[in-house]
Structure 1
Amino acid sequence: MSQPLIGVSTYLNEASWGVWRLPAALLPAGYPRLVQSAGGMAAMLPPDDPGRAASVVARLDGLVVAGGPDVEPVRYGAEPDPRTGPPARERDAWELALIDAALADGTPLLGICRGMQLLNVALGGTLVQHLDGHVEATGVFGRHPVTPVEGTRYASLVPEESAVPTYHHQSVDRLGDGLVVSAHAQDGTVEAVELPDPAWVLGVQWHPEMGEDTRVMAGLVRAAS
């Protein structure tokens, strides 16, 4: 059986390598390595015309919306908090179109950190623009335990409380339409959301690509097979 093709959205930033400093489509290596370790084949999806999202998703077996900058608050009808980061409008437009296409097509979908927040926004939810305690230090991933909600898809993948790599200062506020909470942090922060069966749609607030646990990504890859 061939490996399922898993598309992963990318950053769009200026970067330097060798003698060059140029705009670049970037993806931390942990993402494709996690897809590969879970049995999938990774394809990068840099920002593009949102009108092309449906045709792109139609070629994929599964979709990962990666972490990154804060979602622009206008997307969920809010004024920006002073602590909210600068907008990434190309990513917002492209990734929201990818999510819409995946939901419409029934393509298995995993949102990671920003990707979970965008999933919530795509379904009409809102975000807390700042919370403390989920960033250890600037540029440093921390760890904290998350507890699964019994009976959810996430709990079927990771049934026990587990420590996860984390780096975020925003979180889900009002849940998007149809989403259910499938994991919490000890302070009550929503750490995972999903759509009920038969869809395979899951969002996690942490960064599985920075850890050794492949179970969440393996669930996506199995659904995409």
Structure 2
Amino acid sequence: MSKVIGITADIYTGATSVINQKLMDFVPRPAVDGVVAAGGIPVSLPYIPKEQINGLVERLDGIIFTGGPDIDPTFMGEEPIPQLGATNRNRDIFEIALIRTAVAKKVPILGICRGAQIINVALGGTVYQDLNSQFPGKVLKHHQEAPGDQPTHFISVNHDSYLFKTVSDNVFVNSRHHQAIKDVAAGLKIVAEAPDGVIEGIENSNASIQGVQWHPENMWQHDSRQLELFQDFIARA
């Protein structure tokens, strides 16, 4: 039986030409197609009241946390710096509760870009509000202007990790973020880094929790290793 995989939705704050209404929820089509290509059944997860999360998680075999806006720094006990971008506190509240519930119920989760960051924050870690101004060293260009399906920098992967078994090492990835994981939450470990030291992958001891900083949903169509990320995640679900 195919696994049911929830994919967290972003929200379009402007009015759309389709329904002429604001606050339209949407899930990236490449992520939907990636789950289908990997053998799963995708289900969109717009944010809902926290009280309904238990019932939601019980119906899912796995959850993918997608990209989106910056994370509200107050969830890390910080005030916003001037370089912080747009945030959506309601989405943060929902996803943090969803992550904690999924972990408690042992439902596998995969984070993509912001998704990896919010997993880390939900479990007690932190992120850089703005990588360029807060990172202690010189950084690469992590918000590429090249098309999103094209890779722009390499990452190294820890050979003693589940991620290595999936994508191997010296992976050429795309990059579209200005926040990044800073302090890793207890129970998670760093499994991939960019040449400048920016964290590109995290996971726990059995990879039931895994996160990557790049966007495999935009690359799986022409890179089999990126599709294997979805396939291996669904196999764990």
TM-score > 0.5, shorter chain as reference: yes
The residue number in structure 1 matching 2:87 is: 87
Scaled by the length of structure 1, what TM-score is found?
0.93
**Counterpart mapping for 1:1-225 below 5 A:** 2-14=1-13, 15-18=15-18, 20-132=20-132, 133-137=141-145, 141=148, 143-197=152-206, 200-212=208-220, 213-224=226-237
Letter aligned with residue 204 of structure 1: V
Cα shift readout 1:134-190 (whole Å, capped 9, x = no counterpart): 0123x9536221111111111111112111122000111111111100101111110
RMSD: 1.5
* Distance in structure 1 (CA, Å) of the matches to 2:19 and 2:76: 41
Shift in Å at residue 60 of structure 1? 0.3
Whether the 8 Å CA contact 2:67–2:114 is kept in 1: the answer is: yes
Whether the 8 Å CA contact 1:140–1:167 is kept in 2: the answer is: no
Cα shift readout 1:180-204 (whole Å, capped 9, x = no counterpart): 001011111100001112x511011
Whether the 8 Å CA contact 2:155–2:170 is kept in 1: the answer is: yes
Tell me the matched-pair count.
Answer: 221
Q: Which deviates more, 22-31 or 177-186?
A: 22-31
- Structure holding more strand per residue: 1
* 3-state SS in 2 of match to 1:124: coil
* Distance in structure 2 (CA, Å) of the matches to 1:156 and 1:18: 43
Whether the 8 Å CA contact 2:143–2:177 is kept in 1: the answer is: yes
Letter aligned with residue 194 of structure 1: E
Cα shift readout 1:4-31 (whole Å, capped 9, x = no counterpart): 0000010122341346243211112111
* Distance in structure 2 (CA, Å) of the matches to 1:63 and 1:19: 28
Query: What residue ranges of structure 2 are gaps of 5+ in the alignment?
Result: 133-140, 221-225
